[in-house]
Structure 1
Amino acid sequence: MSYPRLDINCTKIYFNTRTLINKLYKKRISITPVTKVFLGNPIITNVLINAGVNMIADSRVENIERIKLSGIKIPTMLIRTPMISQITNVLKYCNFSLNTEVSVIKKLSLEACKLDIKHGVIIMIELGDLREGVMPHQLFDFVNKIIKLPNIIIKGIGVNLACRYGVVPDKMKMSQLSELATSVENKFNIKLDIISGGNSASLYWAINNKNQTRVNNLRLGESIFLGCESLYQKPIKGLFTDAITLTAEVIESKIKPSLPWGERGCNAFGEKEDICDRGLVLQAIIALGRQDVSISGIKAPKGITIVSSTSDHLVVEAIKYPLFVGQKIKFELDYSGLLSSMSSPFIYKNFQNVKGFELLKK
C-alpha cells in the first residue's frame, strides 16, 4: 500500500448523503453535492447518485467534463461564474451555471445559439460576505438585461455566505433572499425553480429553521464528506465524521533537543517562529509536507503533537512513547486538509467499499 494515503469510505459518504437528503426533505430543501474536493471523481459521483441526488455541482469545468466523459448523465451546475475563455466548454458540459455578470451571460447566449442548446442561469445575490453577487438594489436592472436573451433560461437566484468573511446565513439573510425571489417573479412574471441558500454553512439555519421560506436548495460539500457544518465546525448528529482519513508513514524517530542552535534567519517559507527550550523531546518525522496537504487542515491522534512542517516533512512530538520508523499515523481532516490532499498527486487515493456504486450512471 502506498503512503501518504487517503482512505475514502464510499459507504459512509453514501450514508451521509442519504441522511442529509432525508433531513432537508422535511424542510422542502434539496441538496446539490459539490464534487470539487474530489476533482469530479466518477466513483464519488456515482455514490452520490446512488444516494438519491438529482444534480451535481462543481466549481471547475474540467471536473464536470470528467464526470460527463465518464458516461454520467446527471444534470450539472457550475458554481463559479464562468470564465469567458471557457464559455464553449461550460455550455457543452454544464446544464446550469451561477452568474453575476451581464457580459458573461450575453456570451453564453451567443454561443448557446450557435450550439443550438439552452442554458440555465442562477443569479447570485450579494448579501454581505463580499465574494460574488449582484447587489440587491441592482437585481431588477440585471434581470431586465438578460431576460430576453435567446437560449438563456433564468433558473433561479442564490447566495453565498461564510466563505470570505464568515457572514452568517441566518434567518434575516434567508428571508431577504426569499423576498428577492418573490419580487423578481412578480416583477417579471416568471417562475424561479431554484432558490439556493448557500453551502454547508447554511445547514445550521436550515436544520433549525421553523419559518416559511422560499429557499429550496443548498450546495453541500463539507457536510457530506466530513459530517460537519462549516459555520461552527460542529459535527452533524447522525453523520460520520471519519468517512475520509489521511495516513502517513514515520521516516525518522529520535530524541532531540527542542531548541535549535546556531544563528537563525527565516526558514524556507520566510517564517521565523519563537521557540521555547523544553529540553529533550521524542521527535519524529513523517513523510508528509506542505506540498501534500495544508498542514493546518490535519489533526494528529491523541498523544502526538504537530510542531512544524516543511515542503516534504512533518515534524511531530510524541508525548509518552517514541514512534518507530515505518509506523503509520492516521490524521483527521478538515475541509482545507481534504481539499489540498485530494488535489495532491503525491497522495494515494484509496476508495473503499466501491462495489455497487460504480454502475449507476443517471
Structure 2
Amino acid sequence: MKTKVYININGVKKNTQSLVTEAQKYGISVAGITKGCCGNEAFAQALLEAGVDFLADSRIENLEKLQHIPVEKMLLRSPKLSEIEKVISYTQYSLNSDLQVIRSLSEVAVRKNVKHSIILMIDIGDLREGIWYENLNEIYHIVDTIIHLDGIYLAGVGTNVTCFGGIMPTEENYKLLIKIADNIRQRFNITLPIISGGNSSSIQMLYEGRIPKGINHLRVNQSIYTGIEIGQGQQIPNWENRIVTLEAEIIEIQVKPSTPQGTIAKMNAFGEIKNFKDKGMRKRAIIALGRQDMNIEGLKPVDSTITVEGASSDHLIVDITDSNANYSVGQLINFNVTTYASIITAMASPFIEKISK
C-alpha cells in the first residue's frame, strides 16, 4: 500500500478566504501559491474559489500544468535562461532582478507577439534575490532599460523577506520599498501599479492593520498549509491548522532496548551525532517511510501516545509502547504534517500519493 498524503481542501479555502477578505480591506491583492503542492489542480481551484487574484509558483512546470485555468499566472522565481520560452507561454508575470534574463524575456515576448509583465525585485535586508536597496543607480539603470524594451512591461517592484535571512517585514523596511517605487514613478513618469510586499511573514501585520499604504500585493503560501504565521510562530486565529495529513504502513513491530548496543560511531549515516535516553525495553514499530520520501521533522502522530524516534533513508521508527491501540504489521499510522519543510518534500515525493479531500 502506497504512503498517502491528504490535502484538506476545505481548510485551504477557509484560510485563503480569511486572508483575501482581510487584504481587500486595504486594497491589497493576493497571489495564491501552488508550489507547496506541486501545482495540484484541486488546491489551485480552492485558492481561486477563495478569491485570490493570481496563481503563482516558482516552478514553471507547475504553472504549465495549470495553464487551462483562466487566471493570470505569476512565476515567483527569476526565470532560468533555459526556460524563457515556457515562461512567456505559460505566465503573464515574473519576478526578476537580472538584466540578461529580462532581455531574453523581451526577445521571446516580441517573437511571440505578447506583452510580459515584470516585477523588479529589491532586497531590503533578507539577502535572497533582488537588487540591494541602497544601489539606487543600479536600480534606475535596470528600470530605464526595462521601459525601453519591447514585449516587456514594468508592472511593479517587489521584495522577499524571512525566507533566507529570517528578516521580518516591518513598517520601516516596507517604507524603503515604497520610497524606491515612488522615486521610480517620479523619475521615469510611469505608473508602476504593483508593490509586492512579500509572503506569509506579513500576515500578522495585515491583521493588525500595520502594512503601510502603498504595499498592495502579497504572495502567500506557507501559512495556508500550517495556519501559523511566520516569525513568532503563533496560530492565526480561526485558521485551520490541519491541512495536510499522512498515512503510512507498519512493516515491523519489535520490543527492543531504547538505546543502541555496541560501539557508537562518531556520526550516523546522515552526519548526525545522536543522543539516546535509556527508557528500558520499548515496543517499536517501523514504518515504510524515510528521509528519501520527505523531511520527517514535522510528522506528529494523530495518536498522541506515539512518539517519533527518528528515521533513516527508508525507515521511520516510532515508539508505540504507551498506545492503547493494538497495532499490527500492515496497519496504517496517521500523522499530521505540521511543518512547511515536511509538507513541500512530501508533496514533491514520487513515492507518496497525493489525495485531495
* TM-score with structure 1 setting the length: 0.92
CA contact (8 A) 1:174 1:213 kept: no
More divergent stretch after superposition (200-209 vs 29-38): 200-209
Q: In the alignment, which of 328, 331, 335 is matched to residue 335 of structure 2?
A: 331
Match runs of 1:190-201 below 5 Å: 190-201=190-201
Q: Give runs of aligned pairs for residues 86-235 of structure 1, distance below 5 A.
A: 86-136=83-133, 137=136, 138-210=138-210, 212-235=212-235
For the Cα contact (< 8 Å) 1:282–1:321, is it kept in 2? no
Q: Which residue of 1 aligns with 2:22?
A: 23
Matches of 1:83 and 1:45 in 2, distance apart?
A: 24
CA RMSD of aligned residues (A): 1.7
1:6 matched residue in structure 2? 5
Aligned counterparts of 2:256 and 2:211: Cα–Cα separation in 1: 60
Asked whether the equivalents of residues 129 and 165 of structure 1 are also in contact (C-alpha less than 8 Å), the reply is yes
> 2:7, 2:176 → 1: CA distance?
38
Q: Which amino acid aligns with 1:73?
A: P
- Looking at structure 1, the residues matched to 55 and 145 of structure 2 have their Cα atoms a distance apart, in angstroms, of 28
Q: What amino acid is aligned across from residue 247 of structure 1 in structure 2?
A: E
Counterpart residue number, 2:290: 289
Unmatched 5+ residue regions in structure 1? 353-362
1:341 alignment counterpart: 346
Q: Report if aligned partners of 1:202, 1:231 keep a CA contact under 8 Å in 2.
A: no
Aligned counterparts of 1:47 and 1:331: Cα–Cα separation in 2: 23
Which amino acid in structure 2 is aligned with residue 288 of structure 1?
L
Amino acid at match of 1:147: I
User: Does the alignment pair 1:308 with 2:331?
Assistant: no
Shift in Å, 1:78: 0.3
Mapped contact 1:197–1:218 kept (Cα < 8 A): yes
Write out per-residue CA displacement over residues 295-346 of structure 1, whole angstroms, 9 at most, x where no aligned residue: 1232234222211101111111235237612443222221111100001111
What's the CA shift for 1:184? 1.0
- 1:338 partner letter: I
Checking the alignment, whether the CA contact within 8 Å between 2:306 and 2:323 is kept in structure 1 is no
Letter in 2 for 1:203: I
- How far apart are the structure 1 equivalents of 2:62 and 2:3? 23
Listed one character per residue, the Cα deviations across residues 257-289 of structure 1 (whole Å, up to 9, x for unaligned) are: 112122333433233423343321222212211
Q: 1:11, 1:351 → 2: CA distance?
A: 10
After superposition, residues 27-46 of structure 1 pair within 5 angstroms as 27-46=26-45
Indicate whether 1:267 and 2:271 are aligned.
no
Retained in 2: the 8 A contact 1:175–1:213?
A: no
Q: CA offset at residue 248 of structure 1?
A: 1.9
One-letter amino acid of the counterpart of residue 244, structure 1: V
Return the TM-score normalized by structure 2: 0.93
Higher RCO structure (Cα 8 Å, ≥6 apart) = 1
Residue identity in the other structure for 1:124: M
What is residue 79 of structure 1 aligned with on the other side? Answer: 76
Sequence identity (%): 38
Q: Distance in 1 between matches of 2:211 and 2:252?
A: 57
The Cα shift of 1:211 comes to 6.3
CA distance in structure 2 between the partners assigned to 1:100 and 1:210 by the alignment: 27
Is 1:200–1:231's contact at 8 Å kept on the other side of the alignment?
no
Distance 1:128 1:73 in 2: 35
- Distance in 2 of aligned mates of 1:292 and 1:122: 35
User: How far off is 1:27 after superposition?
Assistant: 2.1
The answer to whether the 8 A contact 2:158-2:197 is kept is yes
Deviations 1:151-210 (A, max 9, x none): 110000100000011101111111111111111111111111211110111111222134
SS across alignment from 1:97: strand
- Does structure 1 retain, via aligned residues, the 8 Å contact 2:146–2:153? no
CA deviations over 1:47-97 (Å, ceiling 9, x no partner):
2222222210000111111111xx212110001001111111110111000
| Change in CA separation of 1:86 and 1:259 when aligned onto 2, cut-off 3 Å | same
Gaps of 5+ in 2: none
2:354 maps to amino acid: K
Q: Which residue of 2 aligns with 1:278?
A: 279
Give the letter for the 1:304 counterpart: I
Letter in structure 2 aligned against 1:171: E
Q: Which amino acid is 1:19 matched to?
A: S
